[in-house]
Amino acid sequence: MTNSDGTLEGLRIRLADADDDASLFDLRSALDRESRFMMLEPGERERHDELPSRSFQVVAEEGGRLVGYVHVSVLPYARARHCGQLVVGVRASHTGRGVGRALLDATVRQARQRGLRRLELTVMTHNRAALALYTRCGFQVEGLRRGSLQVDGEQVDEYYMGLLL
């Protein structure tokens, strides 16, 4: 059953805190295994517990289990600290159910509250579902990164996308 905003009933979107570190690592590792659209191969991920001071994470939780996240990295340098670089991941079991949209909406609100003026991300060009989601959320394709990734022995292109807040 879905809520009026199209998200799953029982889904909670919130800022991540230090208590989520282990669960976030487990979620990211699971996404590395179940999706060919994430940057890291299974087993490549290392634990990193500290975020730069302006960076933040938004998580989707259902039944006490994390099912999606958005990690926003903000560089500490004066010329770049208005911009957040996004990494988005949603469990395969929860794609197409409004989780990604709810996460991105919460991320945009949080970014504005923190004084950010731009968000950016990359998406593999053949990841049509994610590309459609990002476009619906206002992101625009700003460039093409040809052959930027190697996935299963094949070179993969990525779109570079941005959203001005």
Cβ-contact 69, 103 below 8 angstroms: yes
Domain count, the chain: 1
Higher pLDDT, 30 or 83: 83
Residue 6 lies inside a defined structural domain of this protein: no
Residue 2 lies inside a defined structural domain of this protein: no
Task: Provide the 3-class DSSP secondary structure of residue 82.
Answer: coil
Give me the domain span that covers residue 85. 11-164
How do residues 110-156 score in pLDDT, each as one tens digit?
999 999 999 999 999 999 999 999 999 999 999 999 999 999 999 99
Residue 3 lies inside a defined structural domain of this protein: no
Q: Which residues sit opposite 159 in a β-bridge?
A: 123, 144
Higher pLDDT, 30 or 118: 118
pLDDT attached to residue 3 = 62
Model confidence at 4: pLDDT above 70: no
Least Cα distance to 140 among 121, 125, 126, 158 occurs for: 121
Least Cα distance to 74 among 64, 61, 84, 89 occurs for: 84
* C-alpha dist (Å) from residue 42 to 25, 45, 59, 95: 12, 7, 21, 20
Residue 52 lies inside a defined structural domain of this protein: yes
Mean pLDDT taken over the chain: 88
- CATH at 100: 3.40.630.30
Residue 80 lies inside a defined structural domain of this protein: yes
Residue type, 41: E
Model confidence at 49: pLDDT above 80: no
Q: Give the mean pLDDT of 78-84.
A: 90
How long is the chain? 165
Residues 6+ apart with CB under 8 A from 107: 58, 70, 72, 86, 119
How does residue 1 score in pLDDT terms, banded at 50, 70 and 90?
Answer: low
How do residues 18-28 score in pLDDT, each as one tens digit?
888 888 888 88
